[in-house]
Structure 1
Amino acid sequence: MHGLQSELLKYKRTFMGKLILFIPVFFAVYALVTQVSLMNNPQSENSSWKWQSLLALIFNWWPFVFLPLGFALFAALAAAQEKKSGNYRSLRTRDISAKALWINKIAAIAIYSLLSTLVLMAAAVTAGLTTKAGTIPFGEILAAGIVCWLSSLALIPIQLWAAEWKGLFLSMGIGFAGMIAGILAAPSSFWFAVPWSLATRLMCPIIHIHPNGVLLEAGDPLLDPSVIPVGLVVSLTVSLVFTVLSSVWFAGKEEQ
């Protein structure tokens, strides 16, 4: 726990800490502005349509853009922070387990991403209240936020490994490639094989949105909720496997 607390404190007053607040608020503001521009739509008088449209905007762009690129940036900033502070020299002067340090770093990024998700959910509620969208669908917002977070945990060890190995360009490159691969794989039958597609695919039955941004009609196969537990199990399993493998790689790297 002391190691995890230390990791969390490292980023408290950094640019990474500011991004946790800024990025989800930006997504909510974008959705709010877009929603206001759609108010002339005849359906806009329907409060359920207002919320569906708003949540579709927020929770479609969040897994499509922020999760792949945001995690890539978070990982790059975390790796850069270590390089500025001595590039893990403390490992050679104190009895600190390299594997434990690596796992704590992954856990810290996971906690920061959870905080960012909570800010997003609060911003979504605020945006809905601003547009007078009617009764707040707390259950749908909570489900979308938590499922997005859990289904994206697999990306953290992958992106952190890339950032630690080759820095910002590889991390962002993998994040961008994952963003494209994720949106292409999400509606396919092999969505579960692409970690970047998990969150996007699982949003389909929760907020009734196609990965391409179009609202789904009743009876669409993508509305099948049975994919949610499958996607969560895949994400947590991949996260565990890559965390173990990358921690072994990191420990070997620091011992050289």
Structure 2
Amino acid sequence: MMYYIKAENLKCRRTFAKKLVLIAPLLMVFLASISGMYLVQNGYNWWYTILLPSFITLATALVNQIEERKLRYRTIFALPVSLQKIWISKVFLLAMYVLVACILHLVGMILGKLLINPTSSISITQMVTATLILIVVSLWQIPFCLFLSKKFGLMATVLINVGIGIVLGFFAVTEDFWWACPYSWAMRLMCPVLGILPNGTLALQDDALLNPSVLPIGIALSAVLFLLLLTVTANWFQRQEVK
């Protein structure tokens, strides 16, 4: 499998998809730094509500376009290789890109806290925990967006995962059925971890959204959905043929 992942990574060499891994977190740190004393608070809230989903959407769509431009996947379908492994390697590669982008964002937030916003009530331990959780709860979007990109193209993927996804996330995050909407998981889990409400303000001590019981639920659901989507989409890609 490592050979497949290395091959996919080589395809992304000098592409905008790979540059996004650096651009997305740096852009977030820059925008957050403008808010001064709210740097950490806004830097995380804007990251998991808007920029991280946008990054995943664009990265997956661009990785798909690399193959689409090369005779619409015909070069892959004609090779004596496992299409399932190719699909899974694309997902794993994109997961590594998400990991790196989130770590760069974390480093930027830590430096911002130390240099610009030392009075922030959000500790470095909270930030590290939040980043690790965000990586896990965002993974399901990778096979989902890769499927949407392959099936419907870039614009439809952006509309569904960023446009509709953000609206659904904000609608469901404060409801009892938040667990049924994957787009609300990141926002809901960040409430007890960072103490930040979905609207970006700090929660009061007695706020019901600070209940940490949502953490194992959200993490478990994210892992299950990721594995389910990975299996379903990999099997779907295995059945693709040259058209």
TM-score for both structures, normalised by structure 1: 0.88
Question: Given the alignment of the two structures, is residue 183 of structure 1 paired with residue 170 of structure 2, yes or no?
Answer: yes
CA apart distance, 1:54: 2.9
Corresponding residue for residue 25 of structure 2: 24
User: How far apart are the structure 1 equivalents of 2:117 and 2:212?
Assistant: 29
Corresponding residue for residue 246 of structure 1: 233
Runs of 4+ in 1 over 6 A off after TM superposition: none
Corresponding residue for residue 46 of structure 2: 61
User: How far apart are the structure 1 equivalents of 2:81 and 2:98?
Assistant: 26
TM-score for both structures, normalised by structure 2: 0.93
8 A Cα contact 1:98 1:250, kept in partner? yes
User: How far apart are the structure 1 equivalents of 2:75 and 2:220?
Assistant: 36
CA apart distance, 1:167: 0.7
Q: What RMSD, in angstroms, separates the aligned Cα atoms of the two structures?
A: 1.7
CA apart distance, 1:195: 1.3
User: How far apart are the structure 2 equivalents of 1:76 and 1:92?
Assistant: 19
CA shift digits 1:192-241 (9 cap, x unpaired): 11111111111101111111112100011111111111101100100110
2:144 to 136, 158, 162: 158
User: How far apart are the structure 2 equivalents of 1:195 and 1:130?
Assistant: 35
Number of residue pairs aligned between Structure 1 and Structure 2 = 240
| 1:7 partner amino acid | E
2:128 to 116, 136, 142: 142
Listed as ranges, the gaps of 5+ residues in structure 1 are 36-49
1:99 to 84, 87, 99: 84
Q: Which moved more, 1:201-210 or 1:6-15?
A: 6-15
Corresponding residue for residue 113 of structure 1: 98
- Percent of matched pairs sharing the same residue: 31
| 1:146 partner amino acid | L
8 A Cα contact 2:29 2:43, kept in partner? yes
CA apart distance, 1:255: 6.4
